[in-house]
Amino acid sequence: MSQNFDVVVIGSGPGGYVAAIRCGQLGLKTAIIEKESLGGVCLNVGCIPSKAMITASHFLHRAQHDAPEMGFEIPGEIKVNMKKLLSWKESVTTKMSGGVAQLLKGNGVTVIKGDAQFKTTKEITVKTSTGTTESFSAKHFIIATGSRPIEIPNFAFDEKDIMSSTGALALDHIPKKLLVIGGGYIGLEIGTYLAKFGTEVTVAEAQQAILNGVVDPECAQVVARKLKKNKVEVLLNTKAKTQKKTSNGIEVTLEVQGKDQVKIFDKVLVTVGRRPNSDQAQIKNVGILVDERGFVKVDAQRRTNINNIFAIGDIACQPMLAHKASYEGVMVAEIIAGKNRVYDVKTVPAVVFTDPEIASAGMTEDEAKAKGYKDLLVSKFPFGANGRAVSMMETDGFVKMIADSKTHILLGVHIVGPEASNLISEAALAIEMGARLEDLALTIHPHPTLGETMMEAAEATLGHAIHVIQKPLGASVTAKHEAAK
């Protein structure tokens, strides 16, 4: 006999579990179905474990390179016990997954472990790990089944030698030589931390620049310089053609700017993007429409063409970011509960956890021009002029602001530098509320902090930063001041 719910959520990633919790908070009888681990890809084999490893590598790098300059004498070689580090990383994900379980339980959400398949638009079947099949019906369904890494020809994943991010994050040893296919954010994040652990890393990027079309080009250039400094080889306009396993390692044929090169590696990491899991859960069999790229078609409420079924997160549309999925999860839960909401945001901030970090909110210069902003105010403030950054020995990068010259309304902020991931939230709030440059420039920021760079960047974009030398404001400003007396 089928169990009945108000809402059934399929998938417990950062979209699904958040949607289920909010449904529970709103008094809806809710169930969530997960075939693997609570928290989904992001929490278990993506965002959280990768950031744990990045933090560990940064800690090691500072101990090896910055500590001696500060005056700390650390005798002997600092060794990395990868098995112990892996155990620590897994303790982080276990703690987070356990927290999700407690939140779901605390909000009255029924957790069902198994593989869900739509039977009708109002009923699903779930095959459990024990092999039994149960049926569940609901007034509403939320599909949050996420995405998976894209495979390329001749490089099928075995997660041992040819790895996706999942396999790379499970390594219990430091590979000597690693090929990263794809110069996007996932490959660069993993490649960077392994390089700091001592791996000889080569990045093969098919386009003419790393992070091409992903971040502000000037920000990408700062990261490119740091990769070179950290002895990461970046091959641009390069395609991976074939690979074969030999006694010496994995022999890979690369087409570098039109010419073939053969190189030997211990491991190969393929990070050329992710595809939505729209071929799962039998969603097409009940008439749910999917576009040519594999995304479920949704409206501004994330409702599919079937009125009682919603889709959120990676499976629904770009950008494929965890925080966007969580936002949608809350929104859809509230829509189901009767609230009048639509997805209408000015910006979805994005972060790349490279060295240094990159974070962005709003438009790039090219995007602003494409949307009709012909006259822009654009300026940068360097972290090298910030006291806190200097004291941290992390001065690479800048804060870049883009504003409409007529209104001074902030259109975009792009940060490359220390703790860019933490600084970008102020920019996202400013853009969302339609703030002007003056709003940031006239807000007192505490000293000495990295956050001062936001205030100073706004000042620089207005033409009168204090801690960098700019051209004088000019006679016109003096004349306006005299006229105002």
By the 8 A CB rule, do 159 and 167 touch?
yes
Handedness of CA 119, 124, 125, 129 (dihedral sign): positive
Cis geometry, peptide bond prior to residue 49 (ω within 30 degrees of 0): no
By the 8 A CB rule, do 401 and 379 touch?
yes
Residue with tokens 């992390």: 394
- Tell me how long the chain is: 485
Name the catalytic one among 447, 464, 467, 481. 447
Q: What distance in Å separates the CA atoms of residue 437 and residue 407, rounded to the nearest whole number?
A: 9
447 is catalytic: yes
Q: What distance in Å separates the CA atoms of residue 310 and residue 141, rounded to the nearest whole number?
A: 6
Q: What distance in Å separates the CA atoms of residue 403 and residue 462, rounded to the nearest whole number?
A: 9
The CA-based angle 312-313-314, given to 5 degrees, is 125
Residue with tokens 């990633």: 13
Q: What distance in Å separates the CA atoms of residue 479 and residue 85, rounded to the nearest whole number?
A: 64
Compute the CA torsion angle 65, 452, 414, 165 (nearest 10 deg): 40
Residue with tokens 């250039």: 221
By the 8 A CB rule, do 91 and 107 touch?
no
Residue with tokens 């490119």: 224
DSSP 95-135: HHHHHHHHHHHHTTPEEEESEEEEEETTEEEEE-TTS-EEE
Which residues have a catalytic role annotated? 447
